[in-house]
Chains A and B, each alone.
Chain A
Amino acid sequence: MNVLKRDEQPLKSSSDVVAARQKVRQWSTELRFSLVDQTKLITAASELARNALDHGKGGAMTIELISNHGKSGLRLIFEDQGPGIPDIEQALKDGFTTGSGMGLGLGGSKRLVNEFSIESEVGKGTKVTIIRWK
């Protein structure tokens, strides 16, 4: 898998979530994603960016243009140094929330993308990687 382009967006305030969404929108438009795919990826990015901000006490989003055997796609990595997730399986369940949200963000964004992986260590932080292929 080759990384063709990379950019980073800090996530320190709610206006950064808007900036992250705009960045994803811009990159997915450049890659000529269909409108539905664009919306799906932007929505997933919005959920994960807000998670990093609300639960992870801020972090950063890395956006990468990747290619694999002639296929191109966008990879988004959300990293925070927050409290971490003790039970990932439970966190992915619909309706589970530790905050005041709907509890659909993590599981929902998994359904909105092609590849989804999550690494978390309690006390260290969380890293969520998503890929949407074209």
Chain B
Amino acid sequence: MNDLAEIISRNADSIRKQWMAEMSGSVQRTDLMSKTELDEQCRAILESIIEGVKTSGPTNVSGPGWDTARQLLQEISASRARQGFSPTEVATFVLSLKQALFSAIRTAHTTAKNQDQLFDTVWAATELVDRLALITTEAFTATREELIVRQQQELLELSTPVVKLWDGILALPIIGTLDSSRTQVVMENLLQTVVATNSKYAIIDITGVPTVDTLVAQHLLKTITAARLMGAECIISGVRPQIAQTIVHLGINLEDVITKAKLSDAFALALQRSGRAVVRQGPERASGISSLLVKKEE
């Protein structure tokens, strides 16, 4: 079996050259990676492959002799995933080694008459390359998944802002689905801001929640109860007609909660309850943006 190791180590230079040539024809991305960098990577991989084939045999890629090769490939495909290579490009990077290996084997066997041995070597080579390609694909996917999970978490943090509308009045616009993990973040943010700003009123706006089912309602009620324990009163706003009908049919009891159709209504109520009122002081004046708008209309 070590026929393959011998062939690779003897022809390492020509294999690498052909490998590079193969890649430049199909997947080389000069916009993402320089040629010398690629050449360096190919050299390192080939060296680690020779080491692996020599110590652990060509097919046992999970063996200890392949540690360096595996690690190298995982690093390379992870960095390529981040750089923006496509999965095909990353897999073809390894797969294009096949042609180079085959032609090296062919040259080595021109004189030999032993067909069995030739086929054994070819089979070992193709199995080896396939397994290495699988390693890169797996590493590529793992990196992408990490990226997705991180973005999900970032989205969770970003998408639940608590804004201060007035002294003592907070607003919490919820956009998207209110699942358990989201509720946890929403609740934590709200309660912390209630304490930090010493607020007495919190308006939870559900205009951006597409579906209010029993789970969402339960999560809302839990948040409201928790806020109440902290001494803040909650008002739900953004109840659309279709949501109102659905809640009635579902039989969810929201009678203990103040609900409003619009955020402005809820804000007005919170102002009123805290002993404030918004009054017009005089006739509407055309100033700033509104005067510009008038000009445009003319």
Tell whether, in the assembled complex, residue A38 and residue B214 are in contact, meaning their CB atoms are under 8 Å apart: no
Give bound CA distance, A36 to B248, whole Å. Answer: 12
Interface size class of chain A, counting residues whose CB lies under 8 Å from the partner chain? 20 to 34
Q: How far is the CA of A3 from the CA of B52 in the complex (A)?
A: 59
Interface flags, A7-27, vs B, CB<8A=1, else 0 = 000000010001001000100
Q: In the complex, A75 Cα to B249 Cα: how many Å? A: 19
Chain B residues with Cβ below 8 Å from A43 are 211-213, 246, 250
Please measure, in the bound complex, the distance between the C-alpha atom of A111 and the C-alpha atom of B252, giving whole angstroms.
12
Q: Select the stretch in B83-91, B137-145, B190-198, B237-245 that faces chain A.
A: B237-245
Q: What's the Cα separation between A46 and B242 when bound, in Å?
A: 15
Question: A residues 22-54 with Cβ under 8 Å of B?
Answer: 25, 35-36, 38-40, 42-43, 46-47, 50
B245 and A105 form a contact (CB under 8 A): no
Residues of B within 8 A of A35 (CB): 241-242
Is chain A's binding surface mostly helix, strand, loop or mixed?
A: helix
B163 proximal to A (CB < 8 A): no
Any chain B CB within 8 A of the CB of A83?
no
**A4 in the interface (beta carbon within 8 A):** no
| Chain A min CB distance to B95 (Å) | 32
For B176, the closest partner residue in chain A by CB is A18
**CB–CB B242/A47 < 8 A:** no
Q: Top 8 nearest A-B pairs by Cβ distance?
A: A108-B250, A39-B242, A46-B213, A111-B249, A36-B242, A102-B214, A104-B214, A43-B246
Q: Using CB atoms and an 8 Å cutoff, list the residues of chain A in contact with chain B.
A: 14, 18, 21, 25, 35-36, 38-40, 42-43, 46-47, 50, 94, 101-102, 104-105, 107-109, 111-112
A–B pairs, 16, beta carbons within 8 Å: A21-B211, A35-B242, A36-B246, A39-B211, A39-B242, A39-B245, A40-B246, A43-B213, A47-B213, A50-B213, A50-B215, A102-B218, A102-B252, A105-B213, A105-B250, A112-B246
